[in-house]
Amino acid sequence: MSGMSAGRSAMRMGPAELVQAAAMARRFYLEGKSKIQIAEEFGVSRFKVARVLETALERDLVRIEIRVPAELDAERSDALRARYGLRHAVVVESPAEAEESPDPENLGEVAADLLGELVTEGDVLGLAWGRSTIHMAAALDRLPPCTVVQLTGVYDAGTAERGSVEAVRRAAQVSGGDAHPIYAPMLLPDAATAAALRNQTGIARAFEYFDKVTVACVSIGSWEAGISTVHDMLSDEERAHYASLGVAAEMSAHLFDAQGRRVGRDLGERCITVKADQLRRIPEVVAIAGGQRKAAAIDAVLRSGLVTSLVTDTSAADHLLMAGPAPKPALNRADPDGP
């Protein structure tokens, strides 16, 4: 708040008016007192208090600034939320040298804070495979008591301790809840092998929780080497086959074209993963993905309606805000492929 130097317009108020207005503004904006309490203290009506506060704003006696941490871009976040009809969109400023990198690590830190807001006691938290979800789990420092379940197999069973299994354990440790990891690869050689693994006791127990998940955290991959773990697990012939179907994005081993339609559904029969219709029924699905190289893939997955919230960075957000016609609101969550 400024005082006698509040500006020419404010100088039209007499000194007693200025002092009283400043005192009322301090009570209201800094001390959190109600207009009724202020009126009682100064012996005036609450209507006069309201007028004084309004005048204080008009005449620059009080200045209100809205500030968020420097790493958050509030304007882009709100624009992205509105464009895609998301429940939450959080856009993070990325260092200039990391703009071309997919999923900067700071996305995981912000996503960890977001999960701390979204998860409530008794929830079932589902975590899918992905570098960004692994970064998120490593950054977690608060979660209410909840059950944590793994939603996909791992990229490589030999790296389970450093990947999604460890992410599930970490989240459960922070929350004090039960952990249900999946010790199996995400992609199997054929549908029969995948079906056999799904029936194994530990994996079947995790699958039983899929319909109970209330908050899920997923990653998004572009259909290119190094940006999609599923892409990297397939043979050259298989990659070419799915590319011919128009694959633009991958999420939890589900493939999407640029319009958000699911393609290559046969791949899911070979995968240990949550089903797309199960994801659609989860109340809150948070995707963590960023970088210019993933921007088109993020757009495709958001158009699918499977995701309700997004944590991304400014380089991806700028692309998303100009990515063709606005899609149907995600919170409608209708299957773009029909029933």
pLDDT digits (tens, 9 = 90+) for 99-125: 555 667 788 889 999 999 999 999 999
Lowest mean pLDDT among 92-106, 159-173, 231-245: 92-106
- Residues 214-223 have a mean pLDDT of 93
Model confidence at 310: pLDDT above 50 = yes
Q: What is the CA radius of gyration of the chain?
A: 25
Higher pLDDT: 337 or 189? It is 189
User: Six-digit token pair at 39?
Assistant: 């009126």
Strands (E), 46-196: 88-92, 124-127, 147-150, 179-180
C-alpha span between 197 and 167 (Å, rounded): 21
Each residue of 19-45: pLDDT tens digit? Answer: 788 889 888 988 889 999 999 988 899
Give the position of tokens 């990947």: 163
Per DSSP, 91 falls in state: E
State both tokens at 297. 């893939």
pLDDT attached to residue 208 = 95
Query: In the predicted model, what is the mean pLDDT of the chain?
Result: 85
CB atoms within 10 A of CB 34: 12
The predicted model gives 272-280 an average pLDDT of: 94
Provide the pLDDT confidence category of residue 94 given band limits of 50, 70 and 90: confident
The pLDDT, as a whole number, for residue 226 is 74
Q: Within a 10 A sphere around the Cβ of 31, how many other Cβ atoms?
A: 9
Between 63 and 31, name the one with better pLDDT.
31
The pTM is what? 0.76
Mean pLDDT in residue range 234-261:
91
pLDDT, mean of residues 141-168: 80
Cα separation of the two ends of the chain: 58
Three-state DSSP state, 309: strand
CA-to-CA dists, residue 286 to 108, 132, 133, angstroms: 12, 11, 10
Nearest alpha-carbon partner for 275 in 245, 299, 251, 247:
251
User: Given the structure tokens 């259909």, which residue do they identify?
Assistant: 223
Question: Lowest mean pLDDT: which of 57-61, 89-93, 294-298?
Answer: 57-61
Are the beta carbons of 279 and 291 closer than 8 angstroms? no
Report pLDDT digits (tens) over 167-200.
999 999 999 999 999 988 889 999 999 999 999 9
pLDDT tens digit sequence for 243-255: 899 999 999 999 9
Q: Is the pLDDT of residue 300 over 80?
A: yes
CB atoms within 10 A of CB 90: 26
Strands 262-263 and 254-256: antiparallel
Please tell me the predicted confidence (pLDDT) of residue 126: 97
